[in-house]
Amino acid sequence: MGLWVSLIEQGEEVYDANITHNLNTMANEAGLYEPLWHPESIGAIFAEDIIEYLGEGLEKMKADPDYFKKFDSPNGWGTYKYFVPFVGNYFSACKEFPKAEILADR
């Protein structure tokens, strides 16, 4: 099971990525659970609606990697090492396509 995120602009998918659900605790600690897993819960429809959240969460994780690595999945499926680039790439895509519609498939 995983989280698939997509950005849709003018009916075309301009970005998509996926990550394991095992990262939901780490995401929550970084303030990223709702923006990533449930953007509708914070009223986010377009990429521009989550840019600030992604930037702040990414900053938090990079500022204290040891803290966030405590939430790595014991089975190795869901680690800081992969989550930070996932968030960073999604953040960049949201900045590139701010008017794109967010789709989160859980």
Distance (Å, whole) CA 54 – CA 36: 8
Cut 0.85: pTM above it: yes
- Residue 72 predicted with pLDDT over 80: yes
3-state helix/strand/coil string of 54-74: HHHHHHHHHHCHHHHHCCCCC
The mean per-residue pLDDT over the stretch 25-47 comes to 98
Give the domain extent around 22.
2-105
Label residue 1 by pLDDT band (50, 70, 90). confident
Q: Residue 17 corresponds to which tokens in the numbers above?
A: 């990525």
Round to whole Å and give the CA distance between 35 and 32: 5
Tally of domains within the chain = 1
